[in-house]
Amino acid sequence: MKDENKKYAEVAFGIVEDAANKIGSRLPGSKGEIKFHHYIEDKLKEIGIKPVTEEFAVSPRASIGGIPYAGVMGLVISALCYFALSGLTALWYGMAIACVATWIWLICSVFLYKTWFDMFFPQKISRNTYGELVPEDGKYDYTIILSGHTDTSWTWRHSEHNYKFRNNPTLGLISAYGKVGFGAVCFLLLTAICVFYSVLITGNALQAQFVKDIVYSSYYRIFSFAMYFIPAVTALGSAFLYMWADKHEENASRGAMDNATGCALSYAVIKYFKENPDKMPKNCRIIDFNCGSEEAGLRGSIAFTRQHKGEDILKNTWNLNIDSIADKDYFEVVIKDDWQFTRFDKDLEKMFKDTFSELGIESKTGGCIHNPVGGCDSTPMTKAGIKSVTFAAQNPILTYYYHTWRDMPERFEEETVGTGFDVLLGVIDKIDKFQQKNGFNGVNN
């Protein structure tokens, strides 16, 4: 961290401490999340920037927060298997439909973050809060949005339970993924069984020959015997899915790293330029964007890009999305959301990598990763035509503090957050030079 920027590192780390220790958990649409938005509004007012708040409806459990519902479905269907085997054969049809419907929801909402099924889940009101800093003459040709999400995640119980393996992360990783993977395989097996019996019953009603071939085979006799035990096994796997996320708000992540650091650094940067107008990028507007409900499937950034579609705020715009700056050995630029099939901006990727090199930052990830699961707020921004990447300093391997109440500021250092501040200033300087070189129309070119 550069000595001249220490003041802003202290400001940023102070926000992180307040978010985790004074406000606490901030689940999507919760009172805690709203309280943090009010906190950010007050911070912006302190430096003479007018905050803008935009509310939107969110269904917190429609996406990744709803994985326990799949566990409940698995438990119910596991129990119903015994009734269906006892003669209530029509149950297989309903169970098959329920399983397939659950998979459709999981793939579309939990994996791909589609909003199609939100209407079927309880809704809350979340919000986006942002403030803008324009040049002293009020004129600008392009915009830089610094963004971080305000909400935190439900505690992932399997991750938190691996605190005992904190000195052996490999064993912790195997334990967490083993439980969840076993649950997923069990639910897939349940689906296959229900569909198999539904096809078998239908074929029998139609007097199809393949039914006789299956029923009189030795494999079917073995399978029929195994079915006395398989539902008990799938119930255990479904229980692991049900345990995935702790539903209690008081047990949710405190979100120091993920993502009070993102919001804090966005604020620190706009404060820096507010107090040093001579260092503002030429002809540039800077926006501090505090995005709600990222953990509910990027709902805040989706709402923002939909609300402002076609407006000036999304034209000739760069987005530096900041998500988790805490692990000093893992500074990286996230260049793609694999599950969202979205590749982020290559110009920004190079700018971040060059800045890492200039600051002497060495990373165990080589300074660049793909987001292997889920998604980040760069995806809706990129789809809206904005040049965007996500900046992180987080161990990409599943850890005991990721999405758990153990995500506290005591775990990491102010120095790491300060280095993140230095990186952002370095990238903004490169954007400034890029825009001047391209006649302030670099994004659209």
Q: Are residues 372 and 417 in the same domain?
A: yes
Q: Are residues 359 and 426 in the same domain?
A: yes
- Report the pLDDT value the prediction gives residue 211, as an integer from 0 to 100: 87
Q: Are residues 211 and 284 in the same domain?
A: no
Distance CA 348, CA 339 (A): 21
In a domain, 117, yes or no: no
- Report the pLDDT value the prediction gives residue 132, as an integer from 0 to 100: 97
On whether the CB atoms of residues 432 and 282 are closer than 8 A, the answer is yes
What average pLDDT does this structure show over 272-291?
Answer: 96
Q: Are residues 361 and 286 in the same domain?
A: yes
- Report the pLDDT value the prediction gives residue 356, as an integer from 0 to 100: 97
Distance CA 243, CA 385 (A): 38
SS3 letters for 3-27?
A: HHHHHHHHHHHHHHHHHHHHHCCCC
What average pLDDT does this structure show over 150-171?
Answer: 91
Q: Are residues 429 and 369 in the same domain?
A: yes
Q: How far is CA 138 from CA 100, 143, 284, 361, 382, in A?
A: 55, 13, 10, 36, 27
In a domain, 44, yes or no: yes
What average pLDDT does this structure show over 90-111?
Answer: 95
In a domain, 443, yes or no: no
CATH number, domain with residue 388: 3.40.630.10
Q: Are residues 348 and 269 in the same domain?
A: yes
**Residue 282 carries which side chain, given as an amino acid letter?**
K
Place of tokens 């300074």: 367
Residue 443 has pLDDT above 70, yes or no: no
Tens of pLDDT, residue by residue over 56-77, are 999 999 998 899 999 999 999 9
Tens of pLDDT, residue by residue over 184-213, are 999 999 999 999 999 999 999 998 899 888
What average pLDDT does this structure show over 18-38?
Answer: 97
Q: Are residues 141 and 203 in the same domain?
A: no
Among 242, 273, 308, which residue terminates a domain? 242
In a domain, 122, yes or no: no
Q: Are residues 230 and 338 in the same domain?
A: no
**Residue 136 carries which side chain, given as an amino acid letter?**
E
Cα of first residue to Cα of last residue in the chain, in angstroms, is 34
Q: Per the structure, how many domains does the chain have?
A: 2
Q: Which domain holds residue 19?
A: 3-58+127-154+249-437
Distance CA 331, CA 139 (A): 34
Residue 51 has pLDDT above 90, yes or no: yes
| Bond preceding residue 21 cis, omega within 30 of 0 | no
Distance CA 387, CA 145 (A): 10
In a domain, 211, yes or no: yes
Q: Are residues 206 and 321 in the same domain?
A: no
Distance CA 318, CA 281 (A): 13
Q: Are residues 79 and 216 in the same domain?
A: yes
Lowest mean pLDDT, pick from 82-91, 170-179, 382-391: 170-179
Distance CA 385, CA 387 (A): 7
Distance CA 136, CA 277 (A): 8
What average pLDDT does this structure show over 81-98?
Answer: 95
In a domain, 196, yes or no: yes
Prediction pTM value: 0.93
- Report the pLDDT value the prediction gives residue 199, as an integer from 0 to 100: 95
In a domain, 445, yes or no: no
Place of tokens 């083993």: 178
Distance CA 236, CA 71 (A): 10
Tens of pLDDT, residue by residue over 216-271, are 999 999 999 999 999 999 999 999 999 999 989 999 999 999 999 999 999 999 99
Residue 170 has pLDDT above 90, yes or no: no
CB atoms closer than 10 angstroms to residue 87: 8
- Report the pLDDT value the prediction gives residue 1, as an integer from 0 to 100: 66
Q: Are residues 196 and 214 in the same domain?
A: yes
What average pLDDT does this structure show over 81-109?
Answer: 95
Among 195, 220, 242, which residue terminates a domain? 242
In a domain, 442, yes or no: no
Distance CA 205, CA 211 (A): 10
Q: Are residues 226 and 254 in the same domain?
A: no
Distance CA 262, CA 162 (A): 26
Residue 445 has pLDDT above 60, yes or no: no
Instruction: Give 12's pLDDT tier (boundaries 50, 70, 90).
Output: very high
* Average confidence score pLDDT of the chain: 94
What average pLDDT does this structure show over 259-288?
Answer: 97
Among 190, 224, 242, which residue terminates a domain? 242
- Report the pLDDT value the prediction gives residue 442, as an integer from 0 to 100: 66
